[in-house]
Chain A
Amino acid sequence: DIVMTQSPDSLAVSLGERATINCKSSQSVLYPSNNENYLAWYQQKPGQPPKLLIYWASARESGVPDRFSGSGSGTDFTLTISSLQAEDVAVYYCQQYYTPPHTFGQGTKLEIK
């Protein structure tokens, strides 16, 4: 199974500042035939189901603010929030969908400093 490891486990950032969350997979999730990274990012706020933010490592889901961006390839990925807003307080998860089981990272809790 592919193990997904996020860092840090928690993060406190000031409003308007940049937040960066990392995700590392135990093996590459880059599919050679289509050159796509099978990596998604989700946001989960308290009492709500997860919400898809980013897929194919860097494609933003419709309706997601452009302050959210994803980058990386192979085994190392990053979710960046360019200017933190109060409504971005949440837990963020990466997930690989390269092969079943479609494992999640352990989550990163993002708070306001």
Chain B
Amino acid sequence: EVQLVESGGVVVQPGGSLRLSCAASGFTFNDYTMHWVRQGPGKGLEWVSLISWEGSSTYYADSVKGRFTISRDNSKNSLYLQMNSLRTEDTALYYCAKGSGYQNRDAQLDYWGQGTLVTVSS
């Protein structure tokens, strides 16, 4: 059974930093592109970032480019999101999601975690 478990969400002050983690199990982690998607309170889904299966390619939404860094450790079946220079508008539930396509960057998201809540507030 595929499982994605996010952690690391806390309350942080504007300008602060945070690292989110996602522990994956139930599939061959190093064969799939992984994503972060966020959802602000009462808002829709916003795609944040992806990292290719081997970690060589990364992409970001314009809203987080230059502030967030996605990474993965395939030896630990883990995905990360380093978040710097946090703003109040980054307040959201952050989901980790698995891309469906085997060694394919562009694919639908077939499994999602439950999310971890990041609150940016003074």
Per-residue interface assignment for chain A, residues 86 to 113, with 1 indicating a CB less than 8 Å from any chain B CB and 0 otherwise:
0000010101011111111111000000
Among B12-20, B22-30, B105-113, the one that faces the other chain is: B105-113
Asked if residues B47 and A95 are in contact (CB atoms below 8 Å), the reply is: yes
Interface positions, chain A 26-57, Cβ under 8 Å from B, are 38, 40, 42, 44, 49-52, 55-56
Residues of B near A103 (CB, < 8 A) are 47
Interface size on A, as a range, is: 20 to 34
CB proximity to A under 8 Å, residues B64-119: 95, 100, 105-110, 112-115
Evaluate contact between B46 and A49: CB separation under 8 angstroms. no
> A98 contacts which chain B residues (CB < 8 A)?
106
Residue of B with least CB distance to A29: B106
Q: Are A104 and B44 in contact (CB under 8 A)?
A: yes
Known: A49-B115, A104-B45, A104-B47. A97 touches B107 (CB 8 A): yes
Q: By DSSP majority rule, is chain B's interface helix, strand, loop, or mixed? A: strand
A107 touches B62 (CB 8 A): no
Instruction: Verify B35–A102 contact, CB threshold 8 A.
Output: yes
With A101-B59, A102-B35 in contact, do A50 and B112 touch (Cβ < 8 Å)? yes
Contact of B44 among A56, A93, A99, A101 (CB under 8 A): A93
Q: Does A61 contact B (CB under 8 A)?
A: yes
B108 contacts A93, CB within 8 Å?
Answer: no
Q: Shortest Cβ distance from A73 into chain B, in angstroms?
A: 17
